[in-house]
Chain A
Amino acid sequence: MALANIFETPAPGFNFDNAGRNAALEGLFDGGNTPKPMKTGTTIAGVVFKDGVVLGADTRATSDEVVADKMCAKIHYISPNIYCCGAGTAADTEKTTDLLSSNLTIYSLNSGRNPRVVMAVNILQDMLYRYHGQIGANLILGGVDCTGNHLYTVGPYGSVDKVPYLSMGSGDLAALGILEDGFKPDLELEPAKELVRAAIQAGIMNDLGSGNNIDICVITKQGVDYIRPYRESQYKDNRKMKYKYRPGTTTVLTKEVVPLKLEVVQETVQKMETT
Chain B
Amino acid sequence: MEKHCTDSRVKGVSTGTTILAAIFDGGVVIGSDSRASMGGEYVSSKTINKVIQVHDRIFCCMAGSLADAQAVIKSAKFHLSFHSVQMESPPQVIAAASVLKDLCYKNKDELQAGFLTAGWDKKNGPQVYVVSLGGMLISQQVTIGGSGSTYIYGYVDAKYKPNMTKEECLQFATNALALAMGRDNVSGGVAHLVVITEKGVEHVVVPGDKLPKFHDE
- Interface residues of A, Cβ cutoff 8 Å to B: 87-88, 122, 125-126, 128-129, 132-133, 138, 155-161, 163, 168, 170
In the complex, the answer to whether B67 meets A161 with C-beta atoms within 8 Å is no
Please indicate the chain B residues that have their CB under 8 angstroms from the CB of A138 in the complex. Answer: 1
Please indicate the chain A residues that have their CB under 8 angstroms from the CB of B44 in the complex. Answer: 161
Closest 7 CB pairs of A and B: A157-B12, A157-B67, A159-B66, A158-B67, A159-B67, A159-B13, A129-B71
- Complex formed: what's the CA distance from A215 to B123 in Å? 58
Please indicate the chain A residues that have their CB under 8 angstroms from the CB of B3 in the complex. Answer: 170
Query: Interface residues of B: mostly helix, strand, loop or mixed?
Result: mixed
Digitize B47-73: 1 where CB-to-A-CB distance is under 8 Å, 0 elsewhere: 110000000000000000111101100
Q: In the complex, how many angstroms separate the beta carbon of B6 from the nearest chain A beta carbon? A: 15
Q: In the complex, how many angstroms separate the beta carbon of A266 from the nearest chain B beta carbon? A: 61
Please indicate the chain B residues that have their CB under 8 angstroms from the CB of A158 in the complex. Answer: 12, 67, 70-71
- For the complex, count residues of B whose C-beta is within 8 A of A: 18
Which of B11, B65, B68, B70 contacts A160 (CB under 8 A)? B70
In the complex, the answer to whether B66 meets A163 with C-beta atoms within 8 Å is no
Please indicate the chain B residues that have their CB under 8 angstroms from the CB of A168 in the complex. Answer: 1
Who on chain B is nearest to A14 by CB?
Answer: B110
Given A157-B65, A159-B66, residue A133 in contact with residue B71 (CB < 8 A): no
In the complex, the answer to whether A133 meets B1 with C-beta atoms within 8 Å is no
Q: Quick one: which of B68-100 are within 8 Å of A by CB?
A: 68, 70-71, 74
In the complex, the answer to whether A156 meets B12 with C-beta atoms within 8 Å is yes
In the complex, the answer to whether A125 meets B70 with C-beta atoms within 8 Å is yes
Which of B11, B13, B45 contacts A163 (CB under 8 A)? B45
Who on chain B is nearest to A169 by CB?
Answer: B1
In the complex, the answer to whether B12 meets A125 with C-beta atoms within 8 Å is no
Given A88-B1, A159-B70, A161-B36, residue A133 in contact with residue B47 (CB < 8 A): no
- Complex formed: what's the CA distance from A21 to B14 in Å? 33
Given A88-B1, A159-B66, A159-B67, residue A133 in contact with residue B12 (CB < 8 A): yes
